[in-house]
Structure formats: C-alpha cells, structure tokens
Amino acid sequence: MNSKIRTRFAPSPTGYMHIGGLRTALYTYLIAKKSGGTFILRIEDTDTARYVEGATQVIIKTLKDAGLNYDEGPDVGGPVGPYVQSERKDMYRPYALELCEKGAAYYCYCSELSKESSHEEPISSSRDLFLCPCRDLRHEDSKRRADAGEAYAIRMKAPKEGETKVTDIVFGEIVVQNKEIDDMVLLKRDGMPTYNFANVVDDHLMKITHVMRGSEYISSAPKYNLLYQAFGWEIPEYITVSPIMRDAQHKLSKRDGDPTYDDLLNDGYLPEAVLNYIALLGWSPGGENELFTLSELLEVFDVTGISKSPAIFDIEKLNHFNSEYIRKMTPEEFEKVAAPYIGRVIKKSLSISAIAKILQARCIKLSDIPEKIGFFESLPDYDTELFVHQKSKTDKKIALEMLIKAQEILENLPDWTNEAIHDILIETAEKLGVKNATFMWPVRIASAGKAVTPGGAVEICFILGQDETLNRIKLAIEKLRGEVNG
C-alpha cells in the first residue's frame, strides 16, 4: 500500500450536491488531510443519460465554498489527470482487452443485453443470474469477430465456484459466493466504460489508497476485488457509510423534496453550521462537544467513529447548530452575512449595523430576518388590543397616558442615542411611579405595531430615528384617544 494516503471524491454530475454526497466529500477530505495525504476530485460522467449540464461547476463551487479544497482535480490539474472520466475514455479499452487476454473477461455480442446502465444492479437478487452465451466462446474466435468489426461489449468473467471476501473498515469482512456474482459489463457497445470498471481502473491509476462510498455500492465491492485480483493490483482500503434518512423508512431524496446543500444555504443556514452538522450524521466524535470547525474536525475525526446504522436528518438539530454558530460570530461577521437579508426589506436610510445587532441573539437562520424586521420599513396596521398587557400592567387608558408623556419627553431629547433614549425612559417611569415595563410596553407597541420584535422599545426607537418614532407615537395616541374617550 502506498505509504501516503490518497483519497478521492468521485461524484457524478447529475445536479446539485445532495447532503449525502457532501458528507462523503467531507469524510474523504478529513481522512486525507488528517494524515497529510492528498485529496482528489474526480468527475465520473460515464453515465451520459444522467449527465446535467453545469453540474460539474456546481460540484467544484460547493466544495470550495465548504472549504474542502482538493489538491488535484479538473480545474487545478495534477500528475494523474485528466480528472474527468469522459476525457479518459481511451484509457479504459486497453485494460478491458487485457482482461480478455487473461481470461477474466470476454467479448459479448448480445445486442440487447449489452445495453446495460453504467450503474450496475446488486450482485445478488431473487432472480437467476443471466449467463451470457458469449461467455463460453473461445477467445480466439470471439476476438476474430471483434476484429472483423462486429459490435460488442466486454463483460467480466466472474468465477462460478468458491467465494470472494471483502474487508471494509466499517462493516468488517463480507463474504459472497461467486455463483451469486454476475458478469457485469466493463465496456459498453459505444466504447464508454461502465461506472464500476472506470472506478477500479481510475482508482488504481490515481494510486487511491482509501475508497469511501455509500452503502448502496457495498454489493459491488466483490466485483471490484475480482477486477483488482485479475489485474494483480493492490486493493485499497474500503470505508462504507450508511445512508442519511429523512425518517426510519425513507432515505433523504431531492426528488421527494428534501433539501440539497444549496437549498440549505439559500434558506439561511451558515455553511460552517451545515458542514458541522453533516459531519455528525453517521459519525460520533465521542465526548460531549458537538460543535467543531473544519480545522477542529481535522483534529478529532477518526474512521472508527463511523456508524453502520443509518443517520436521521433532523432539521431541528440543524436549527440548533445554526443558531449556535450565529451566536458565536462577532458583530461584524454577523452584520456581513445578515446585510443581504436586511436589504431585502429595508429600503429606508436606517442603520444596518444597529438592526443586525438586535437580530443576532434572536435569529435561528438568516432567512428569518425579513419577517422579523418589516415593521421598520412600514408600520403594520395593528389592533389597539396589543396595548393591553397584563404582565406590564397596561390597558388602553394607561397606554394612552404613557404615550402622551413619552411624546413629550422624546420630542425634547437633544441627543438621539441608545443611551439617551434608555435613560430618559427609565427616568420618566421612575418619576411617574410606574414599572419600567408599564412605560416601555406602550412605546414598543406604538413604534413597532407588533407584540414580538427582535428588540425592545429603546432599540426600536433608536433605529427608527426621532422623527419616525414621534410620528408613530402620535398615530398611536390618536388611535387610543378614539377608543378611550369614545
């Protein structure tokens, strides 16, 4: 085995990055980087039917945005390129022909049965395995037909006696009877390699030492081993991860409306929080701490913590992680990420910094922001019943009295700062002989038109500015007078 660890993330460009794919990329990155090894991005686009234009760029952008910087790949190059399988097409045929010469593969002329998908079926099923009649043709006769121009595929010639053992770091030893292994297609009639064959050849040529893949591919591992053995190549370490589930019965699936990584970012989750949460879907660090930056994950990650059991994607748990990451940000960091969301609603000349300050401790995800701050842009049409608040000991009559006094003192406040507004409101409440809440609550309702706001009366008044605050208090006084004196 190569002394230096080399891992690869090898996605198919079939759309956006799903959560399971990003988790595989993360674990693969951590395995390599923790040991000072090499992390490679390889694009596996042999399945032309599922190819999505632009998906490769999405994969590259996602990895870079997540901080999973690869050492070799399609856009950065490297010593074992190209790093896109379709650009390596001519490399595979000689290896398939070599297996034919060795008796480990054969030409298949069965036109319909050669048109297999590049993603193979599981090796065992309730059906009887198809035995291709071309399997028993003499190699010389079969090759003569190929040389004469007859269309063919190339199939692996799986042994029908004995057993094949696979050793996986997570799942241990897996033993499969060879009679259950089908003669999978290696090279299709159009000359393109199948996923499974290109996978093995590329992993060998790129000197991959550790292969991580989802549990749906564990049934293909015996086929891979047979290919490695036929070539006389060293078998890499296998690390299999179980699926991420929406619930106990259903896998996470974009087709069923479950979010992709991009969906989560667009919904206001921080990349760092998503990456941290994904790391824990099927892996346990041990201990009580669950919050890890990427650099901290490099310190604590160990493949022995990977679980055989499927992981459940819990959006509430992700919400918790995201809110924790938001709290940990400096005010400047939070303002930077919150500003675009604030700007969706606030068109007036208000302090973005001051709005961000009151949001940070009250925000679960960034997409919550617009709904929380709309009242700054325009006062909602509110019911005067909001002024009735048992805990603050206010009713409409008391609220009217408090607002008349608030209008008086705020009109004459020369210095419109948080501190000045706070001090004058507290001082006035004391002079009136009422609780602070009794005086503050009516001011808050008048200035916001809402009972639940991301800031209190002081912060809201400061952000609105003196003129707008007084206009809103005046409007509230008029509404209350009409009811109290009516």
Contact in structure between 364 and 318 (CB atoms under 8 Å): no
Which helix (H) or strand (E) segment holds residue 214: the answer is strand 210-214
d(CA 292, CA 285): 10
Angle between helices 396-411 and 436-448 (to 10 degrees): 80
Q: Write down the catalytic residue from 89, 254, 317, 474.
A: 254
229/455 Cα distance (integer angstroms): 67
Is residue 443 a contact partner of residue 425, using CB atoms and an 8 Å limit? yes
Q: Answer for the pair 374, 348: CB distance below 8 angstroms, yes or no.
A: no
How many whole angstroms separate alpha carbon 44 and alpha carbon 51?
Answer: 10
**DSSP readout, 270-315?**
-HHHHHHHHHTSSB--SSS-----HHHHHHH--GGGB-SS-EE--H
* Backbone φ and ψ of 41, nearest 5°: -105, 125
Cβ(280)–Cβ(380) under 8 Å?
A: no
CA distances from 274 to 294, 397, 441 (A): 11, 50, 38
Give CA–CA dist 103/56, Å, rounded: 37
- Using a 10 angstrom Cβ sphere, with 0-12 exposed, 13-18 middle and 19 or more buried, the burial of residue 12 is buried
Residue 193 CA: distances (Å) to CA of 115, 378, 404 = 12, 61, 81
> What is the distance between the alpha carbons of residues 192 and 153, in angstroms, rounded to a whole number?
10
CA separation for the pair 180, 128 (Å, rounded)? 9
Starting at the earlier edge strand, list the strands of the sheet with 105-108: 105-108, 153-156, 185-187
Q: Look up 254 and say whether it is catalytic.
A: yes
Residue 38 has phi, psi (to 5 degrees) of -115, 130
Residue among 313, 335, 315 nearest 326 (CA): 335
> Exposed/middle/buried for 287, CB within 10 Å: 0-12, 13-18, 19+?
exposed
Strand partners, 72: 40
Q: How many CB atoms lie within 10 A of CB 104?
A: 19
Positions marked active-site? 254
